[in-house]
Amino acid sequence: MDARYSLFGIHFGWDSLIGLLLPGIGDAATALPSLYVMYEAHRLGARKRVLARMGLNVGLDTVLGSVPLAGDIFDLAFKANRRNVALLSRELARAERKKEENPWPNAIPD
């Protein structure tokens, strides 16, 4: 959604294109896939603080991105979906490390 295409070294995606073509409406429409990423993060067990940060990213992208012209420039720079996927990746890696560090499941032999 955020960096599928590149022109003159500037990466952009459907989020920027739809927001540019349909100010306001396009930004609201592109929030739906972003909310789906948040739903998946919740389903995978992301902590509340990570979900809140992801929600803040989506909210900023939707609200500030809906401002004509300035919002389109913001969309090119902010890339909320890439930020949220990075947050989720770090959260899943943290959960995996924590799971590996816990000695209790293996402490009692079968």
Could you write out the three-class secondary structure of 56-80?
HHHHHHHHHHCCCCHHHHHHHHHCH
Q: How many domains does the chain have?
A: 1
Indicate whether 31 belongs to any domain: yes
- Residue 26 located in a structural domain: yes
Asked if pLDDT for residue 71 goes beyond 70, the answer is yes
pLDDT at position 107:
56
Select, from the ranges 22-31, 38-47, 97-106, the one with the highest average predicted confidence (pLDDT).
38-47
83 located within any domain: yes
Q: What is the pLDDT of residue 85?
A: 93
Higher pLDDT, 89 or 105: 89
Residue 53 inside a domain? The answer is yes
Domain membership flag for residue 62:
yes
Model pTM score? 0.75
Domain membership flag for residue 58? yes
What's the confidence (pLDDT) of residue 7?
65
Please report whether residue 104 resides in a domain.
Answer: no
Say what the pLDDT of residue 38 is: 95
Domain ranges, residue 37: 5-96
Q: Is residue 40 part of a domain?
A: yes
Place of tokens 């955020």: 2
